[in-house]
Structures are given as structure tokens and as C-alpha cells.
């Protein structure tokens, strides 16, 4: 229970469904003074208080579990290391994979609990298949698709059949004071929202060159390639415009040479996306699969053909996509009127035209 409206209603629904429910709030900051006092983070003292009040109203026991060490090792250190390697990680996905449905779930199972219930917006039916929420704008199946079948077997997402507005209305009906609490958007462990500053503090200044993709010309300097993401346009700090006057975008980041390569928008277009670490919702497909793929959180689904091998996955897009960053997840969906079904997920390692 984060202290937000979703997990509060999810807990209440789990109680209504007849389960013996215990509320758990995760304390994730190693130093409570740094992360937890941040007004924008999702694990402040105030959030712990809100979660406790929601548990009181629902009538369930409530505890704070200190997962700071696990969170640091599994999410924060990974986040920094991924940026240092020129990739763009998704820490919410990693938190689901390593913390909520691993460290927390394993501890809960050891203590005698059967499952972890969260307020994620996604559907998980009796068939064990993960589907998009009815609220496509709030759907979080993208950051849950990394979960294995074993993890999903001990997970419950009671909110998938309800829109966010519906959840808020239900919270108000239930007398939960978090009904109108604003959504959290920021990375919870970067309280001030300054990701670049956070990385610079940890990785230091590593100056390098910004290079034109077509000519190889050095266009400028950067203070650390980790501050850039494929597809980024703003904040490049280039003083000379392109000869044709068109905007330049980050096309790639090369950690070995510490180079940020830039070029025109169309050079961002990719049609082939290579991925590692695939996780499948059922048995891995035997041949090419027509499906839709999503390449970033809240990204549009794109028609594609996905081919699986033992430890890799290659997607061929039916029409090119822009700004595909290594480190992000590719999630493959089978369109379905009852909620698009997650077929599998993998980590993007490379993308090419």
C-alpha cells in the first residue's frame, strides 16, 4: 500500500473477495532523510501515513516493511548502471520484477501468505494471462509483463476491470481519504525529479563528444552520455543549427567511446528491434507471431511480427517506429476485445532500420 488511491481500493476489494488481507507499505529509502522526505516521491512519511489510514478504514492490519537494501541493490543501482552502459532503464518495471513480486512476494510466502495484491491497472484472469486494463490510459501491463508465470501465479490485480475515475469514485464511497490524492508520476527515488542531476551525482562528469551521424563531424561536447536518451531532442546544447535547419535528435549512445550521435528525425526510424531476456506468458511461440508490440511505457501499440529463440526475441515492425531505446522493454500483445493479452516481454538490446 503506497499511500495512493489504487492500492487502497485494491486492498479493500481483496477483503471483499473474502481474503485474509494484511496491508504492507514498503520503506525503500536507505536514508529516510533523503528520499522519504521528498514531496514528489512515492514513499514519503506522509504516504506511509496515508497508507496506514487507508488500512484503518478498510479494517486490516498494517505494517511497514523495510526493503531499502533490496530496493537499492535491485532497482537504484541497476538504474544507474544501465544509464552508465548507455541504456534507458524502466525502474518501475524493475521494481515489480525484483521487489514487489520477488523480495516482497518471497517474504510474504515464507510468512504464510498466498499472494501479493497490488493496485496496478491490469487484468489477470483465472487463465493466468495478463491483459491490459479497461482503462487504456492508465494501463500498467507494460511494467508487469516482465513477471514470470510463477510470479503471476501469486499475484492479484483487482483493479483491471475499472477505470481510474471509477477507482477514485469507489475510494470516495468507501470513505478512503486518498480518493482525490494526485497520481504519482515521477521516479520515486528521485524526489526532486532531476534525473540528470541524480545520475551526475552518482556517475560524475564524463565529458565526451556529440557527433553528427551523417558527417561524423563533432558538433559539441556533453558532460556525460548518461544524460541522453535515444529520441531526445531538447537539451542537446548544440549552438550550430543543422545545415537544413531541421531539428536534431539523439540517435544512439556509444558507451565505449562515450559518444552521443545525433541526426534528423527520420534517422530515428527503426523497423527491427532485437531483444534479450524474454519472458513468455505461456510456452514460447514455435514460429513467427503476428501481434502488436509496445516499446515504451504509454507508447502506442505497433503491428509487428515477433520471432523467438531460446534467449532472444526479434520484432519486425510493420511500420517504422521512432526513438526506440535500448534498455526499455518490448512487450508483445495479442489484440483481444476482452483486453489485449500479454504474450511476452523482453529487454531491447538494439534497434535498426
Give whichever of 45 and 218 is closer to another protein, judged by the CB atom. 45
With CB under 8 A as the contact rule, which of the stretches 108-116, 182-190, 204-212, 263-271 interacts with another protein?
108-116
Which residues, 6+ apart, have CB-to-CB distance to 20 below 8 Å? none
235: left (phi over 0), alpha (psi -120 to 50) or beta: left
At its nearest, how many Å lie between another protein and the CB of residue 290? 35
Our CB check for another protein shows the closer of 87 and 98 to be 98
Q: Out of 18, 39, 59, 110, name the contact with another protein by CB under 8 A.
A: 110
| Piece in contact with another protein (CB under 8 A), picked from 105-113, 168-176, 181-189, 250-258 | 105-113
Distance (Å, rounded) from C-alpha 280 to C-alpha 352? 24
Nearest to 299 by CA among 131, 80, 143: 143
CA-to-CA distance for 306 and 311, rounded, in angstroms? Answer: 13
| Shortest distance (Å) from residue 99 CB to another protein | 9
Compare residues 70 and 292 and give the one whose CB is closer to another protein.
70
Per rule CB under 8 A, is residue 259 in the interface with another protein? no
Select from 9, 21, 25, 253 the one that contacts another protein (CB under 8 A): 25
Helices within the chain (DSSP H only): 5-16, 45-58, 68-71, 77-84, 91-95, 104-111, 149-153, 164-173, 195-203
Q: Minimum distance between the CB of residue 25 and another protein, rounded to whole angstroms?
A: 7
Of 43, 95, 275, 291, which one is the catalytic site residue?
95
The DSSP code sequence of 208-233 is EEEEETTT--EEEEES-GGG--TT--
| Angle, CA of 61, 170 and 124, to the nearest 5° | 75
- Residue 256 buriedness (CB in 10 A; 0-12 / 13-18 / 19+): exposed
Distance CA 313, CA 345 (A): 9
- C-beta closer to another protein: residue 106 or 192: 106
Backbone angles phi, psi at 201, to 5 degrees: -60, -35
Active site residue 188: yes
∠ CA 293-297-302, rounded to 5°: 25
Q: Which string of x and - marks every residue 51-80 that binds another protein (by CB under 8 A)?
A: -x--------x-xxxx--xx--xx--xx--
Measured distance CA(10)–CA(16) in Å, rounded: 10
Name the minimum Å distance from CB 107 to another protein.
5
The neighbouring-strand residues paired with 276 are 312, 347
Q: Is 100 in the site for another protein (CB under 8 A)?
A: no
- Which residue from 45, 136, 214, 218 is in contact with another protein, where contact means CB under 8 A? 45
Hey, which residues does 262 pair with through a beta bridge?
A: 212, 250
- Residue among 64 and 85 whose Cβ is closer to another protein: 64
Q: Considering beta carbons, is residue 57 or 242 the nearer one to another protein? A: 57
| Residue number, 20 or 266, with CB nearest to another protein | 20
Near another protein in 77-96, by CB under 8 A: 77-78
27 binds another protein (CB under 8 A): yes
Which residue in the list 42, 43, 188, 275 is annotated as catalytic? 188
Size of the site for another protein (CB under 8 A): 27
Cα–Cα distance between 260 and 350 in angstroms, integer?
15
Interface positions with another protein (CB under 8 A): 22, 25, 27, 32, 36, 45, 48, 52, 61, 63-66, 69-70, 73-74, 77-78, 98, 102-103, 106-107, 110-112
Active site residues: 95, 188
Amino acid at each position: 500500500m503506497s499511500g495512493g488511491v489504487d492500492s487502497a481500493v485494491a486492498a479493500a476489494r481483496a477483503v471483499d473477495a473474502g481474503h485474509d488481507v494484511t496491508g504492507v507499505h514498503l520503506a525503500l529509502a536507505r536514508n529516510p532523510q533523503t528520499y522519504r522526505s521528498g514531496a514528489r516521491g512515492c514513499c514519503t512519511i506522509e504516504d506511509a501515513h496515508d497508507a496506514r489510514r487507508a488500512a484503518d478504514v478498510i479494517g486490516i492490519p498494517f505494517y511497514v516493511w523495510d526493503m531499502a537494501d533490496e530496493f537499492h541493490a535491485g532497482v537504484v543501482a541497476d538504474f544507474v548502471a544501465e544509464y552508465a552502459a548507455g541504456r534507458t532503464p524502466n525502474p518501475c518495471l524493475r521494481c515489480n520484477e525484483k521487489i514487489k513480486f520477488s523480495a516482497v512476494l518471497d517474504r510474504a510466502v515464507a510468512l504464510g501468505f498466498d499472494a501479493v495484491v497490488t493496485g496496478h491497472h491490469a487484468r489477470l484472469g483465472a487463465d493466468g494471462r495478463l491483459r491490459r486494463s479497461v482503462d487504456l490510459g492508465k494501463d500498467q501491463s507494460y511494467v508487469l509483463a516482465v513477471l514470470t508465470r510463477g510470479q503471476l501465479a501469486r499475484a492479484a490485480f483487482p483493479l483491471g476491470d475499472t477505470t481510474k475515475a471509477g477507482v477514485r469514485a469507489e475510494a470516495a464511497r468507501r470513505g478512503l481519504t486518498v480518493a482525490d490524492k494526485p497520481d504519482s508520476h515521477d521516479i520515486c527515488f528521485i524526489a526532486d525529479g532531476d534525473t540528470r542531476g541524480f545520475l551526475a551525482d552518482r556517475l560524475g562528469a564524463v565529458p565526451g563528444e556529440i557527433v553528427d551521424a551523417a558527417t561524423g563531424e563533432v558538433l559539441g561536447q556533453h558532460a556525460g552520455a548518461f544524460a541522453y536518451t535515444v529520441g531526445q531532442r531538447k537539451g542537446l546544447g548544440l549552438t550550430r543549427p543543422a545545415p537544413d535547419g531541421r531539428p536534431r535528435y539523439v540517435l544512439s549512445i556509444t558507451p565505449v567511446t562515450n559518444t552521443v550521435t545525433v541526426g534528423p528525425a527520420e534517422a530515428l526510424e527503426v523497423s527491427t528491434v532485437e531483444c534479450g531476456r524474454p519472458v513468455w506468458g505461456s510456452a514460447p511461440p514455435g514460429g513467427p507471431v503476428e501481434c502488436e508490440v509496445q516499446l515504451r511505457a504509454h507508447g502506442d501499440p505497433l503491428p509487428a511480427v515477433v520471432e523467438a529463440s531460446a534467449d532472444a526475441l526479434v520484432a519486425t515492425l510493420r511500420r517504422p517506429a521512432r526513438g526506440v531505446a535500448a534498455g526499455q522493454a518490448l512487450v508483445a500483445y495479442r489484440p483481444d476485445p476482452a483486453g489485449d493479452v500479454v504474450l511476452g516481454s523482453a529487454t531491447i538490446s538494439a534497434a535498426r532500420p
